[in-house]
Amino acid sequence: MSTETVTAVAGAFIDGREHANGGDPLPVTNPGTGEVFAEVPGATARDVDTAVDAAARAGAEWSALAVSKRGEILGAAAHHVEAHLDELVPLLTREQGKTLRDSRIELTKAVDTLMHYVGLAKTLRGAHTPGLDPGVDGIVLRRPLGVVGAIVPWNFPTTLLCNKLAPALVAGNTVVAKPAGTTPLTTLRFCELLAEGGLPAGVFNVVTGSGSLTGTALVRHPLVRKIAFTGSTPVGEQIMALAAPGMKRVTLELGGSDPMIICDDADLDAAASAASMGRFYNCGQACLAIKRVYVFESVADQVIEAVAAKAKRLKVGRGDVKGSQMGPLHTAAQREEVAGQVARTLEQGGTLLAGGGPPEDPELEAGFFYAPTVVADPPHDVPMATEEVFGPALPIWRVADLDEAIARANASPFGLGSSVWTRDLGRARQAAERIEAGYTWINSRTKVYDELPFGGWKSSGYGKEHGSEAFDYYTETKSVVFGSQS
């Protein structure tokens, strides 16, 4: 029997206050216990309309402020959120499942990203070209787009939101966000805290609900000028099509199947640690997780053994229990999908070296747990190689040399991140130039920096987040020519 009390929540935060959505209630489940603890009504098309109208109204004043003033206001609001991390951390763990430690890392990073763009506010510039013709000058103006719809998945609800919110707001846009239907609560409270911290009403609004109803209504809304989306590749493709009428701008941060190449001259201990961290962090539910490892034959046994040993040692447990290193998968369906991908892979070959099913601990039976899993040397056309595995299961293959490793790395529809471990500068450079991906880490953990642009190639997406480049995706430019009579 459930021990959780089910809390009813209004479901939206619009124009500076809570707003009661008109749609059917959606359950919010604790992935560590499998119990429903809140119900949130979904936003209908009418609720989305109310949010977009509020954002459009607020945009007139917000975009007219000096960019430094917008930065100042957002910075103060971000500090108010930071002062409430102790409240947000357990809430994120409860609805998402991740450990308390990982919730704190995520939320701290979300605030950092807001502050990063606050710091960049005064750098937002256009351009001037003198002497286009005798006595004729050109300038390039930059203008905000208007209302931005931000659609975010459940694996990192707050950082993926702030990657959009920060450059959008600093550039003078207003935002309506839709978190995943299964993780509405932290985002709603985050929005409320920003408002308490001084962000003007209507500048940032949140509508919760399902992707198919609320998300679609947001993408289709005629006043929404841009959709900033993070999620799976199939839904990204749908969104690109839905956004075509009216030529809405889109940035699409989609799925990945990031390869890691370990050469025979690498620091093998460090590489094995990076593989384990890169695959099992956040229970493997990260777009940038390491999802395929290619290791040189001569050092393969050592690496495979080290990674399998690390997987077996990881302490799997409920996110809110001290000492847990890896929490549950986010939903039962997510666990089923990962289990299916592993099972279909093993049917075709490969050796299971760790995990391969839920952990044996009876305390974890009710939650959506799956043990850290390592499979060595399956064929190259199995689901774990060709599909995105969004959970804690890692395939490792032996390769003859760098050419084979790069060819295997690129034999994927995805092109998000990648990593290479070698002490040879020539190999590192070749890999960085030849791997088809938006990011390559060399002898480094796969960590995303706000300073560098991030975005996928091929089916991993379109456009960039992070870096000063993100501003390009939240502004339109206009060329103005001053003739000789001006």
Catalytically active residues, by annotation: 164, 253, 287, 465
Contact 83, 90 (CB under 8 A): no
Nearest residue (CB) to ligand NDP, 210 versus 386? 210
Question: Is there binding between residue 71 and ligand NDP (CB under 6 A)?
Answer: no
Q: Give the strand pairing for 373-376 and 393-399.
A: parallel
Nearest residue (CB) to ligand NDP, 160 versus 342? 160
| Residue 411 neighbours by CB distance under 10 Å | 14
Shortest Å distance, C-beta 272 to ligand NDP? 24
Question: Is there binding between residue 178 and ligand NDP (CB under 6 A)?
Answer: yes
**Closest by alpha carbon to 386, among 277, 267, 292?**
292
Question: Is there binding between residue 210 and ligand NDP (CB under 6 A)?
Answer: yes
Question: Is there binding between residue 467 and ligand NDP (CB under 6 A)?
Answer: no
Question: Is there binding between residue 52 and ligand NDP (CB under 6 A)?
Answer: no
Question: Is there binding between residue 230 and ligand NDP (CB under 6 A)?
Answer: yes
Residue 331 vs residues 96, 147, 226, 390, 464: alpha-carbon distances, Å: 9, 32, 30, 12, 29
Question: Is there binding between residue 339 and ligand NDP (CB under 6 A)?
Answer: no
Tell me, what amino acid is at 355? G
Residue 99 tokens read as 């450990």
Shortest Å distance, C-beta 485 to ligand NDP? 49
Question: Is there binding between residue 463 and ligand NDP (CB under 6 A)?
Answer: no
The span of 7-15, 67-75, 128-136, 211-219 binding ligand NDP (CB under 6 A) equals: 211-219
Shortest Å distance, C-beta 407 to ligand NDP? 23
Return the residue of 71, 75, 144, 153 that touches ligand NDP, per CB under 6 A: 153
Q: Cα–Cα distance between 403 and 335 in angstroms, integer? A: 35
The span of 6-14, 56-64, 173-181, 336-344 binding ligand NDP (CB under 6 A) equals: 173-181
Question: Is there binding between residue 235 and ligand NDP (CB under 6 A)?
Answer: yes
Return the residue of 390, 397, 441, 471 that touches ligand NDP, per CB under 6 A: 390
Return the residue of 75, 167, 215, 367 that touches ligand NDP, per CB under 6 A: 215
Please classify residue 135 by burial: count the beta carbons closer than 10 Å to its beta carbon, then call 0-12 exposed, 13-18 middle and 19+ buried.
exposed
Question: Is there binding between residue 350 and ligand NDP (CB under 6 A)?
Answer: no
Q: Report how many residues bind ligand NDP under the rule CB under 6 A.
A: 31
Contact 456, 415 (CB under 8 A): yes
Q: Cα–Cα distance between 127 and 247 in angstroms, integer? A: 25
Question: Is there binding between residue 62 and ligand NDP (CB under 6 A)?
Answer: no
Question: Is there binding between residue 23 and ligand NDP (CB under 6 A)?
Answer: no
> Tokens 């760790």, residue?
354
Q: Cα–Cα distance between 288 and 60 in angstroms, integer? A: 37
Question: Is there binding between residue 212 and ligand NDP (CB under 6 A)?
Answer: yes
Provide the mask over 242-261, with x wherever binding to ligand NDP is found by CB under 6 A and - wherever it is not. Answer: -----------xxxx-----
Shortest Å distance, C-beta 126 to ligand NDP? 28
Return the residue of 461, 464, 471, 473 that touches ligand NDP, per CB under 6 A: 461
Interface with ligand NDP by CB under 6 A: which residues? 151-155, 160, 178, 180-181, 210-212, 215-216, 219, 230-232, 235, 238-239, 253-256, 287, 388, 390, 416, 456, 461
